[in-house]
Amino acid sequence: MTLVSVLGGKGGVGKTNVACNLAVAAAARGARVLLVDGDLGLANVDVLLGLVPRGTLADVAAGRARAEEVLVRGPRGVDVLPAASGRSEMAALAGEALAPLLGAIVELARGYDVAFVDAAPGVGAAVVAFAAVSARRIVVATPEPTSLADAYALLKVMRRDAGAPDADLLVNAVRHEREARDTQGRLARLVARFLDLELRALGWLPRDARLVEAVALQRAVVEAFPASAVARRIGALADTLLEHAAPLRDAQGAAAEARA
Ligand SMILES: Nc1ncnc2c1ncn2[C@@H]1O[C@H](COP(=O)(O)OP(=O)(O)O)[C@@H](O)[C@H]1O
Ligand SMILES: [Mg+2]
């Protein structure tokens, strides 16, 4: 199991679209995929994928349901763990209340090849907690200066409060490759100078009207418009992530064979 959190300091930079589409693309490639809505108080994943949840993480937190009981089946067989919407007490979950919920999510994730968490914006307790338990942290930022400033602030908090040694930067909604490289370079220089953290360049996604169309249709763009530029690049990213997840499975398989 590889737990991948999709984070970003600012709202509206594309976290939910990245998490949902990576999950659907990974599932289309044959992986068993869990998609967790980590925006505990303002859920979006179910809306983006046009799903109707039977229950949410608020029910799990309150002890009314187990995590597997509120799963809802998404495109390509992705199992979605929905969050509640408009629940300020969920958004404010911290410390002692957060730990058991996180434990339940990690436990559930063990049954999958890969689990993606769509994190809330900002640098709240839940964001830091998800960053801390994840094997990979994808930070989504757009070329806007405000997004870059917030991504830097998030990396700083992740390093300090989550002990995160590294993160993968994904630049979203760029007009051309040069803009992606500029953005990446600017953030990389700041990080190299001020933070003891390895920031890897995971790649970039183009600004693509097809993604906006897919959102309106409440469908993942990789399903609705698989030939679009953004969908192709997300597919390639999913390949990269699964490549890194694969050795884990191979190692387990080899161990099982050795025992047999
Ligand atoms: N690559 C992109 N191309 C075009 N529009 C995008 C792209 N990424 C995000 N957007 C726009 O930004 C909106 C917010 O995206 P979302 O994934 O919900 O962001 P977040 O989860 O970070 O708040 C989308 O509904 C879409 O209109
Ligand atoms: Mg979102």
CATH code (residue 77): 3.40.50.300
Could you tell me the two tokens for 43?
């859920």
Whether 211 lines ligand 1, by a CB cut-off of 6 Å, is yes
Distance from C-alpha of 252 to C-alpha of 242, rounded to nearest angstrom:
15
Whether 183 lines ligand 1, by a CB cut-off of 6 Å, is no
Residue 247: pLDDT above 90?
no
Distance from C-alpha of 90 to C-alpha of 93, rounded to nearest angstrom:
5
Sequence-separated (6 or more) residues with CB below 8 Å from residue 48: 16, 17, 20, 215, 218, 220
Whether 113 lines ligand 1, by a CB cut-off of 6 Å, is no
Following CA atoms 176, 178, 183, 189 in sequence, which dihedral angle do they give, to the nearest 10 degrees? 170
Ligand nearest, relative to CA of residue 45? 2
Atom of ligand 1 nearest to the CA of 140: 22
Q: Spell out the alpha helix ranges (H) of the chain.
A: 15-28, 45-48, 57-61, 88-91, 95-109, 125-133, 145-161, 177-194, 209-216, 221-224, 229-259
Residue 27: pLDDT above 50?
yes
Kindly state whether residue 119 falls inside one of the protein's structural domains: yes
State residue 92's pLDDT score.
Answer: 87
State residue 96's pLDDT score.
Answer: 83
Kindly state whether residue 52 falls inside one of the protein's structural domains: yes
For residue 233, give the amino acid letter: R
Q: Which residue has the higher pLDDT, 254 or 221?
A: 221
Kindly state whether residue 260 falls inside one of the protein's structural domains: no
Q: How far is the CA of 18 from the centre of ligand 1 (A)?
A: 8
Q: Mean pLDDT over residues 57-86, rounded?
A: 96
Kindly state whether residue 213 falls inside one of the protein's structural domains: yes
Give all strands of the β-sheet with 72-73 in edge-to-edge order. 72-73, 79-81, 33-38, 114-119, 2-7, 136-141, 166-174, 198-206
Distance from C-alpha of 156 to C-alpha of 158, rounded to nearest angstrom:
5
Helix 229-259 vs helix 15-28: crossing angle, to nearest 10: 50
Residue 255: pLDDT above 70?
no
Kindly state whether residue 163 falls inside one of the protein's structural domains: yes
Nearest-CA residue for atom 9 of ligand 1: 14
Nearest one of 38, 6, 18 to 172, comparing CA atoms: 18
Kindly state whether residue 107 falls inside one of the protein's structural domains: yes
Q: How far is the CA of 62 from the centre of ligand 1 (A)?
A: 31
In the chain, the number of structural domains is: 1
Whether 215 lines ligand 1, by a CB cut-off of 6 Å, is yes
State residue 249's pLDDT score.
Answer: 44
Q: Domain residues for 137?
A: 2-252
Q: Which residue in the block uniquely carries the two structure tokens 């509206």? A: 12
Kindly state whether residue 259 falls inside one of the protein's structural domains: no
Whether 15 lines ligand 1, by a CB cut-off of 6 Å, is yes
According to DSSP, residue 77 is labeled G
Kindly state whether residue 257 falls inside one of the protein's structural domains: no
Q: The pTM is what? A: 0.94
